Amino acid sequence: MDIKVLGPGCAKCKKTEKIVRQVVDEMNIDARVEKVTDMLKISEYGVIATPAVVIDGDVKSAGNVPKKKDVILWLGK
């Protein structure tokens, strides 16, 4: 699984990354979590507002910090 957290590095972006990594660890998911800060690369996903979470190329959220339960649903086995 390929997970990208998109954002320039603001507090909300850092919180989003922390939540995603925590869920991946807790669920023991084999995933690569990457933080993308390059605004040009972020715009390639059609994302206007950050933070955003992209899982296997699919934008799951943008413009807000996702709740842990939402991330669990997205990553559900």
Catalytic residues: 10, 13
Are the C-beta atoms of 13 and 47 separated by less than 8 Å? no
Whether 28 and 77 have beta carbons less than 8 Å apart is answered as: no
The residues facing 54 across adjacent strands are: 4, 59
